[in-house]
Each structure stands twice: as C-alpha cells, then as structure tokens.
Amino acid sequence: MTDKKFSLKRLFEFYDEVLSLPHKNEVARELRDEDDLFLLLVYSDLLGIPNPAFYYTLELYPYIIEKFHDWHLRMGMEKSPLDGIRCC
Amino acid sequence: MSAIWLAVGGMIIFTLGYKYYSKFIAEKIYRLDPNFKTPAHQYKDGVDFVPTNKFVLWGHHFTSVAGAAPIVGPAIAVYWGWLPAILWVLLGTVFAAGVHDFGTLVLSVRNKGQSVGTLADKLIGQRAKVLFLFIILLLVLMVNAVFAWVIANLFISFPASVLSVFIQIPLAIWIGYSVYKRKGNMLLPSIVALAVMYLAAVVASGVPALQIDLVRYFGGEGASVLFGLDATSMAFFVWIMVLMIYVYIASTLPVWKLLQPRDYINSHQLLVGLGLLYLGMLFTNPEITAPVSNSSADTSWFPLLFITIACGAISGFHGLVASGTSSKQLNKETDARFVGYLGAVGEGALALVAIIAVITFFPSTAEFSATYSGFAAASGEGLGVFIQGAGVLASGLGIPASVAATIVSVIVVSFAATTLDSSVRLMRYIIAELGTEYNVKPLTKTHVATTVAVVSSACLTLIPEGPNGFGSGGYLLWPLFGTSNQLLAGISLLLISIWLKRQGRNYWPAFIPMAFLMFMTLYAMILQVLTQWAPWAEQSDWLLFSFGAIVLVFALWILFTAFSAIFNSDKDSIEKSA
C-alpha cells in the first residue's frame, strides 16, 4: 500500500478497507458455513447417509476435492474419514 | 489558559511515548522478530486468520476499542479538577495502556493467537481461567447495566436524539443485507445512512413533535404515573425495558445482520465526533474555566480517580480485543507496536478531548463548581455536561450549539448501544462456557443464556435508586465497572510479566504498572466496600456491597494464584512455544 502513490481514491479505498474488515470476515464465515453444509450433502453417501442424487454429486468431486482436507479438519476429523479420499 | 495548549501538550507526550518508550519496549522487552511466522500466516483460513495491512488493522483495532467509556469516565473525574484527570490519562496511556495493549497482542501472537482467558489457563492454571471468566462476566454485567442507564439517561435528557438512534436500526439491517446478498460496497450506503441519521437529528432538534420525550408524555416532571412512580422514573423504566428487548434480539441475530453494519456506521461517527471536537476546538479557542484541582472534594481522588477513568487511561477490555481478534490478523510481529500501542494512544486522545469539552463548557469556575458540587452529582451530570460542552466546541464550525449537542448525543448513544449489543453477546457466550464448564446443560442454549444475561442486566440497571428515583441510579455502578475493568487489565499485565519472567527478560515495565493498578483497584475497592457500602456504613447499600465484595474476593483469589505462579520456576509449554 505504501509503495502506491497517494490519491483521494486510494484514501477512500483504505478507509473502506479499515471499516469493512470485520464484516468481510463475518460474511466469509457465513458463506463458509453454507459451503460446509453443501459439502456434507455431497459427501453424504460416502459417510453412510443415503443420497438419491449421488450420481450427480459425484460429478462435482473434481471441483470440491481440493476443499476436502480443510473441510474435514473444520468438522473435527483429524484424518480423512473416507477410504476413497486419502488426503492426509 | 487556552485548552489548545492542553491538547498540544497531550499530543506531544503521546508522540514521545510512541516514538521512544514503545520502541524501547518493542526492542528490549518484547523483542519483536520481523521473521516470526504470525498466527495469521500459520493458520491462514481467510476468515479468522487473515494477514492484514498494519494501517487497516490499527483502524479496526481502534474503532473496536473506542466507545462511550473513555468519554463517561473523564467527564466524571474532572470533579477533582482537570490536572489529575489529564495526568492520569497521559501517563496511564503512555506507561500502562500502551504496554498492556501492545503486550496482550504480542503474548497472543506468540501463543497461536489465543485469548487472554486461555493464556491464563496455560500460564497460571485451570482455576485461574474459571476465575477469569467470572471476572469478565461481572465486567460485562456492569457494562450492560451502566450503558443501559447511559442510553436511557440520554434519551430522557436529549429527546431529539431518539429518532436518529432508532432510524439507525432498519438502516443497518438494510446495509447488512445488501452487503451479504448482493456483495455490495458498504461505504456509500453507510454514508447515506449517516446523513439520514444526522438529518433526522437536525430536524428533530427544531420540531418538538419529533422528539420522543417520554417524561412529557407521562405528564412532565413530578407527575405521578403508575404504582407511585413519577414521570422520570417511569421513563427510565420504559426505556430500560425497550433497550433490553432490543439487545435480546440484537445479540441473538447473526452479527452480520445488525451488529456489524451498525459498527460500520458508528466508525464514521467516531471520525465525525473526533473531527468535530478537535477542529471545533481550534476554531473556538476555548478557555479552561474548571479549577486545576478540587481541594474541597467530598470524596478523595486517591485512589478513586484511577478507577473512575478506566478506558482512556488503561482498560482490560482492550486486552480482550487485542488477543481475541487483532492477534489473528497481524501480518508481521513488528506491526504489533503500531497496532497495539497506537490503539491505546487513540483512546487516550479521545479521553483528552472529552476532558477538554467538559472543562471549557462553563462560563466561570463558580458555575462549574455548582454543577460538580459533589462526587454523586458529578457522576450523574458528567455525561450531559460533556455533550453540551462538545456542542459548544462544534459550534466553532458554524453548527448551532443545540443541533451539535443533539448530534453528539446521537454519537454517544450509538457508541453505548454498540457496546451494549456486544457485551450482552459476550455475556451470553461466557454463560454458555460456564454452563459447559460446570455441566449445566440448559445454560449452553442460546435463548436460555441470553435470557439470563438480559434479565440480570435489567435487574441491575433498575435496582439502584438515584435522585430521580427507580432506575435512575445506574451511574452508582460506574466505580464497580471501573474496578472490574482495571482488574482485568491488571491480570493481563500480570500474565505478560509472568511470560517475560519465564523468558528470562526484564519484566519490570509490565510489572510496575500492574502493581500500581492492582494496588489502586484493591485499595479503592476495600475503601468503598468496607467504609461506604457496608451495612454498618452511613450510605450502606446492599447491592453495591454484595457486588463489590464478590469482585474483591475474586480479585484477591486470582492474585494469590497468579503470584504463586510468578514465583514458580516450573516452566510449561508456553515457554517452548515462544
């Protein structure tokens, strides 16, 4: 930030950034909670909860597999709960 | 003497404190390491742990810690004259608050971003953590009661401010939704919201029909309403009930819906308030009319001054913010000096201008002494005097004094309301945590915990009897609020001292303010509990006596536990982590 030239626009951006910091975190938390629920639904069949849309959710795996490790850690599972996915 | 000199002198002391003392603390005592991997990087998750630019983090830290408390305390403490109040604010900020806020931030950063409560557990033991929770519980209970009284009192004294404050609620909800659902920008809507609020304040100042004046509705001062209550008591009762219902709803809603958008609007207000006061002071060049010191005080300044001004000189609440959120967002460990120390300086600057607004308001010393005739009168009137004084300062910018006073009261009520929201929420969390600790399942439920929090706060606000009867004596709790706040700061400084000692470093810069603070707090407490509030004393008061005694017992207990820890050479995991 300091290496950029000072301007009024930059000042407003900085001011906005200061004030919106906690809100960004809360909105991110809210969105992450929604995502977590969605991931639970997607992985539900592998966790033993019958899921009629299993074949469709299977198609999503390549897109969400990267999030899987963080998700199971957040859900309080230190190791991957699924035999099929061995992230750690 | 012109008050500008006081402001300039204060700023010079703050600058020297930051430039030299905080540098000494950073290099020789806390030994900050620019290469240390902070929790923001170590546990980066995009939500709680986010590396943040130090200017942005300072801004956020400052707006979180600054509220109505650094205004209320100084406005009361000028009763002993302006010199003791100014000296305590300046020296307290430089040597105690700076070291405390900076230290809790570093201590938390060196320990995975954990809060002071958890660190008390690690450094002193499990019992300390539970005691710590009880002290925070008492603190937030006092905050709820005192700030509910502050708001009710301002609604009654400045009825023109009510409309603006209530308009803020739907505006905040609208902003919250627009940001969350449409990922909109907050800056413009919040400035529009602020403009609407101030417009409402200006209009209401001139149109009595828009002033929600409950005392007038109940037939004017002295009129008997119901159950033998007069109009003022009834107005206090109704406002406190309305506020309690509001905080119940506000503290159970998700934070992004109401609390944070309100915070956002209030952050502008902090800037508006500071700007109005400092710029207004330059233009009006006010003379100090209050006495330098008060030799005929009915209550001695020693040691009560040190608990009357809590926030603004040193406050334990800052440690909760520093270790609770700021430590998780610190980009580099060396940024802690800027964020922590300057955060305390910002609060000191607010307290300084609050003192100036009060000591320049009266046309003569005699009028000051007539209003500040005793400590009880000062406690009841101080905040109202600040608002009128701030109105006079702001009139230097061309705003009529009555309109400026309404705007300042809107600002103070908004701060107090945000503090009340957060503190009821915090109380709910603590009750739930104590419920888990002692295995009382119902207490862990949101609505049960919130009901306990709200009902106990409402009772505590309504019980003390002031000059206007039932509900108007909330200010009597102010010394208790100051005590629990200072106690918390003292314990945090003690934790920092223990940590420094175990590192084999010089721990005196943290130990000396801790010893000073603990001595003053305990001395003031013993004096008040045993000679003022006790059943055998003249002004005996069971409520204050019981609360004071509980705080005192907790304080002594945690001190003994902590002192046995400080001299205990048994080193634990905390040292390895540092």
Give start and end residues of each alpha helix (H) in B285-315. Answer: 301-308
Domain residues of chain B, as ranges?
Answer: 3-577
Q: Which pLDDT value is given to residue A41?
A: 85
Distance to chain A for B47, nearest Cα, Å:
5
Chain-wide mean pLDDT for chain B?
89
CA distances from B37 to B25, B41, B114 (A): 20, 6, 15
Give the percent of chain B with pLDDT over 90.
50
Mean of pLDDT values over A70-80: 81
pLDDT at position B69 over 80: yes
B-facing residues of A in 21-80 (CB < 8 A) are 21-23, 25-30, 32, 70
Question: Chain B residues with CB-CB distance to A under 8 A?
Answer: 45-48, 50, 52-53, 55-57, 59-60, 63-64, 179-180, 185-187, 190, 254-256, 260-261, 263-264, 267-268, 325, 329
pLDDT for B324-338, tens place per residue?
889 999 999 999 999
What's at B493, amino acid-wise?
L
Integer Cα distance of B525 and B518 in angstroms? 10
Question: Which range has the worst mean pLDDT, B215-219, B295-299, B455-459?
Answer: B215-219
Q: Which pLDDT value is given to residue A55?
A: 82
Are B484 and B312 in contact, with CB atoms under 8 Å apart?
no
Residue A41 lies in a domain: yes
Distance to chain A for B271, nearest Cα, Å:
11
Residue A81 lies in a domain: no
Q: Which pLDDT value is given to residue B469?
A: 66
pLDDT at position B490 over 70: yes
Suggest the residue from A21, A29, A30, A33 to mutate for an interface test with chain B (most B CBs closer than 10 A).
A21
Pair of tokens at residue B28: 């020789």
Are B225 and B219 in contact, with CB atoms under 8 Å apart?
yes
pLDDT for B166-221, tens place per residue?
999 999 999 888 877 777 777 888 899 999 999 999 999 888 888 888 888 887 77
Beta carbon pairs, A and B, within 8 Å = 67
Distance to chain A for B509, nearest Cα, Å:
31
User: Which residue spans within B161-278 are E strands per DSSP?
Assistant: none
Classified as helix, coil or strand, B336 is helix
pLDDT at position A4 over 70: no
pLDDT for B542-578, tens place per residue?
888 888 898 889 888 888 888 887 776 554 544 444 4
Q: Which pLDDT value is given to residue B287?
A: 93
Number of domains in chain A: 1
Q: Which pLDDT value is given to residue B576?
A: 42
ipTM, two decimals: 0.72
Integer Cα distance of B135 and B63 in angstroms? 24
Give the nearest partner residue to A25 out of B50, B187, B268, using CB atoms. Answer: B50
Q: Which pLDDT value is given to residue B577?
A: 43
Q: Which pLDDT value is given to residue B87?
A: 97
pLDDT for B349-386, tens place per residue?
999 999 999 999 999 999 999 999 998 889 888 999 99
Q: Would you give the DSSP letter of residue B340?
A: I
Of residues B60 and B93, more confidently modeled: B93
pLDDT for B510-547, tens place per residue?
999 999 999 999 999 898 888 888 888 877 888 888 88
Residue A23 lies in a domain: yes
pLDDT at position B411 over 50: yes
- Chain A's closest residue to B182, CA to CA, is A27
Q: Which pLDDT value is given to residue B468?
A: 63
Integer Cα distance of B342 and B21 in angstroms? 12
Are B280 and B393 in contact, with CB atoms under 8 Å apart?
yes
B55·A30 Cβ contact <8 A? no
Range of the domain at A62: 8-74
Give the percent of chain B with pLDDT over 70.
97
pTM of the model: 0.87
Residue A62 lies in a domain: yes
Q: Which pLDDT value is given to residue A86?
A: 73
3-state per-residue secondary structure call for B105-117: HHHHHCCCCCCHH
Unique residue bearing structure tokens 């002033």: B211
Q: Which pLDDT value is given to residue B74?
A: 95
pLDDT at position A70 over 90: no
CA distances from B77 to B70, B300, B354, B355 (A): 11, 11, 11, 9
HSE of B181, CA atoms in CB hemisphere, 13 A: 7
Q: Which pLDDT value is given to residue B573?
A: 45
Q: Which pLDDT value is given to residue B522?
A: 92
pLDDT for B82-128, tens place per residue?
999 999 999 999 999 999 999 999 999 999 998 888 888 888 888 88
Between vectors from CA B520 to CA B518 and to CA B521, what angle results, nearest 5°? 65
Selection from B393, B144, B164 nearest residue B250 by Cα? B144
To the nearest 10°, report the CA torsion of B429, B432, B433, B438.
160
Q: Which pLDDT value is given to residue A75?
A: 80
Q: Which pLDDT value is given to residue A40?
A: 86
- Chain A's closest residue to B44, CA to CA, is A70
Selection from B89, B76, B82, B71 nearest residue B13 by Cα? B89
Distance to chain A for B520, nearest Cα, Å:
35
Unique residue bearing structure tokens 């008040």: B528
Residues making up chain B, counted from first to last:
578
